[in-house]
Structure formats: C-alpha cells, structure tokens
C-alpha cells in the first residue's frame, strides 16, 4: 500500500469545453502521479503533484539509451456517474513484463493499481462525457541516471499523466486505409517487439511517413525473418474475418499483446464465433481477398478501440474490404466493448474496475 502525498494545484486550468473536439494526447489535466526509484531504496516517495515539467540532466540515460516504457489505458464516466477503468490488471501485467524485458525494476501490481485510481480520482472532473470521449491514462517510466555508459539505470521516475481525449482517428469509427510494409521491419523475435517501449515506435516512423504520403493512415508490419507473416499495426493489433472465422496473428514474441485484442478474442468465444490465433501470411490474405472470402478487417487498440479497415495495399495490389465500409462485426465489437467500458452493457467478464 503506497503512502501517497498529495500537493493540490493552486492554479487549476480551465476544463475543456464540452464541444472541444479533444485532439488525441494534446490536453493534460491539473495533476500527475510521480514516484522515484533508486537502487537500494526501491520505489519511494509516491506523490500527486501539479502537472509540471520534468527537469533532467542532459546526460540522463533516457535521452541516450532509450530505457523507457509506457502503458495506455482509459477511464470512462458511466451514465450512472461511476468512474470505470477498463481491465487495468492487463495493463499492469504487461507493464511489468515490459519492465522485465528492458531491465526496469517492477512495480508491485497493487501499488500500480492504487496509483492509477488515486490520480484518476484526483482529476475526475476532467473525464469527458460526450460520445466517443474518455480520459486517456499514460503511465510511463524513464531512466534518469546522469551517466553515459550503457547499463540498466539505478534511478527511475514513474509518472502517470492524464489526457481527456476524443476519438484517436479524427474520422471516428470510419474505415482506415492500411499500407503493408515490405521494406522496413518493426521488430523480430528475440528483440523488444512485445515490450511497450519507445524503440518499437521510433522504428515505425519512416514507414508511417511513407504510408501517409501515399494516403494511408497506418502501416501493417510483416515479420522480420521470412517477411511474409502478418504481425501488427504498431498502434493496433489486426484481425481478419475469413470465411466466417475471426483470425488474428498468434503472439510470437515480436507482437504487442494488446488488451483490446484479448477482449475481442474473449467476446468471440462467448458469442460462439470461430476464432483462431495463428500465423497468417500476406499471401493468404491476398488469396482470400481474391476469392471473396476476406469478409472484414479491423484493428484493435486502446486509443481507437476498433478501427475498421476499408483498404489494404500490398506492393501494387490494392485490396478493398467491405467496399471500404464498416463491417458488421467491427461495429458489433466496438459497440460491445465501448458499451461495457461505459457501463451501458452488463460486464459479464468483470473487465471494469470502479474508481471510488
């Protein structure tokens, strides 16, 4: 149990107006959670303080060797006024898995959850209520030793910031166009692909820029070894509906284990919808599209929840899916997951955690 010291801001900011479109990740609340780590002392000095800049030595290891991790989850204001987190246990589990992979000291699960609840409670007034909005929660850890040698750091900052957000894609639940990358690689087995750390994201930028220039909003990655198996989208996991079966790439060490991905798989099983986690080659998708059995494609992620995919481009092949529209199951998964998140639908899985 953390002993969280609280310092309330003396200069509260104005809350965003209800008609503010809330561009993703640009507005931050009045407070942040901070906790320090030092070898020998462990995690200590848990506190909620006014949202403020971080001051670090120029030699701080995070600026040089990328020892940084993050998570992303959301808090919702239910219609009955309750504040709900969606599956925070999964984010905490993944956070500590990332920590182990990149040699950051773990945070006890119960302390992590306590911190999440405390900061959300503190800035509860910032949770937006308009359709499609939520309070995005960004926990992250950075290595702060002022030292230029390469080794795991001895000092860290764990910080949680909050951002009221609208839809991740300005177009809302509108189909996105996806570029299948065949030159660059995001991650490979044995690397850091299944960890939520900056190195995976920086590796994706160049492809993303290329895709944007061609009018595509996201990149779909192929595996780095055989360059033929589908991995993930970087900001999302990917699902296909092929001939009545929901198919998604199996977690293989280079794919991020998404929380929304896991939720969709669970829903399929409950609904009696056939679902397969397995290797999926780009050739299989190409052939399924050609034969007319590629019925739906959608991405899953915390930011956008479900993103229907209306078009895939692989080399010179342009594959339209659902005539560029929204698939029946994309809509159903979106409605069900957001329904549970907002407390509108019964939460049979106990996925939501109330912040009291």
| Residues forming the site for a second copy (CB under 8 A) | 24-26, 28, 32, 51-60, 62-68, 70, 101-103, 136, 138, 140, 142, 146-152, 159, 161, 163, 168, 183-192, 197-206, 208-209, 224-225, 227, 234-235
Q: Which residue has the tokens 């339209």?
A: 320
Q: Which is nearer to a second copy, 14 or 80 (CB)?
A: 14
Please classify residue 51 by burial: count the beta carbons closer than 10 Å to its beta carbon, then call 0-12 exposed, 13-18 middle and 19+ buried.
middle
Closest approach of a second copy to the CB of residue 322, in Å: 26
Q: Write down the least CB distance from residue 205 to a second copy, Å.
A: 4
Between 24 and 271, CB nearer to a second copy? 24
Least spacing, CB of residue 8 vs a second copy, in Å: 18
In the numeric block, the tokens 């959850």 are attached to 113
Least distance (Å) from a second copy to the CB of residue 335? 25
- Residue 147: CB atoms within 10 Å: 17
Between 201 and 271, name the residue whose CB sits nearer to a second copy: 201
Residue closer to a second copy (CB basis): 234 or 258: 234
Report the alpha-carbon distance of residue 73 to residue 243 in Å, rounded: 32
Nearer to a second copy, 190 or 324 (CB): 190
Beta strand 83-86 pairing with 134-143: unpaired
Long-range CB pairs of 57-61, under 8 A, 24+ apart, other chains included: 57/144, 57/146, 59/146, 59/147, 59/148, 60/142, 60/143, 60/144, 60/145, 60/146, 61/143, 61/144, 61/145, 61/147, 61/153
Nearest approach, Cβ of residue 183 and a second copy (Å): 6
CB of 126 to a second copy, least distance (A): 15
Q: Are the C-beta atoms of 164 and 16 separated by less than 8 Å?
A: yes
Contact predicate 166/132, CB 8 Å: yes
Q: Which is nearer to a second copy, 47 or 138 (CB)?
A: 138
Nearer to a second copy, 12 or 146 (CB): 146
Q: Residue 236 has what DSSP assignment?
A: S
Nearer to a second copy, 183 or 316 (CB): 183
Q: How far is the CB of 230 from a second copy (least distance, A)?
A: 15
256: CB partners within 8 A, 6+ apart = 193, 194, 195, 196, 200, 232, 237
Rg (CA), the chain: 21
Cα–Cα distance list, 88 to 70, 73, 204 (Å): 13, 7, 26
β-partners of residue 156 are 37, 143
Q: How far is the CB of 58 from a second copy (least distance, A)?
A: 5
């Amino acid at each position: 149990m953390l002993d969280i010291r609280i310092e309330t801001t003396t200069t509260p900011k104005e809350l965003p107006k209800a008609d503010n479109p809330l561009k993703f990740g640009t507005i931050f609340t009045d407070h942040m959670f901070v906790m320090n780590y030092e070898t020998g002392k462990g995690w200590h000095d848990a506190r909620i303080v006014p949202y403020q800049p971080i001051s670090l030595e120029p030699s701080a290891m995070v600026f040089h060797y990328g020892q940084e991790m993050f998570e992303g989850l959301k808090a919702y204001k239910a219609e009955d006024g309750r504040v709900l987190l969606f599956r925070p246990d999964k984010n905490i589990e993944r956070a500590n898995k990332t920590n182990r992979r990149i040699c950051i000291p773990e945070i006890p699960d119960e302390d992590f959850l306590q911190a999440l609840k405390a900061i959300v409670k503190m800035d509860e007034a910032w949770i937006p209520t308009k359709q499609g909005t939520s309070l995005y929660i960004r926990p992250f850890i950075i290595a702060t030793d002022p030292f230029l040698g390469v080794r795991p750091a001895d000092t860290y900052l764990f910080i949680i910031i909050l951002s009221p957000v609208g839809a991740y894609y300005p177009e809302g639940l509108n189909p996105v166009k996806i570029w299948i990358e065949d030159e660059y690689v995001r991650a490979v087995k044995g690397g850091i692909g299944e960890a939520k750390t900056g190195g995976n994201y920086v590796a994706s930028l160049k492809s993303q820029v290329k895709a944007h220039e061609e009018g595509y909003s996201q990149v779909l990655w192929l595996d780095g070894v055989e360059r033929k198996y589908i991995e993930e989208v970087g900001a999302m996991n990917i699902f296909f509906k092929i001939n009545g079966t929901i198919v998604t790439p199996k977690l293989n060490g280079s794919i991020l284990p998404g929380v929304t991905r896991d939720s969709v798989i669970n829903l399929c099983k409950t609904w009696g919808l056939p679902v397969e986690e397995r290797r999926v080659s780009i050739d299989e998708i190409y052939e399924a599209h050609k034969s007319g059995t590629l019925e739906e494609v959608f991405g899953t992620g915390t930011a956008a929840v479900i993103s229907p995919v209306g078009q895939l481009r692989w080399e010179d092949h342009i594959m339209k899916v659902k005539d560029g529209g929204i698939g029946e199951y994309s809509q159903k998964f979106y409605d069900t997951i957001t329904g549970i998140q907002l407390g509108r639908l019964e939460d049979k899985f106990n996925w939501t955690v109330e912040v009291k």
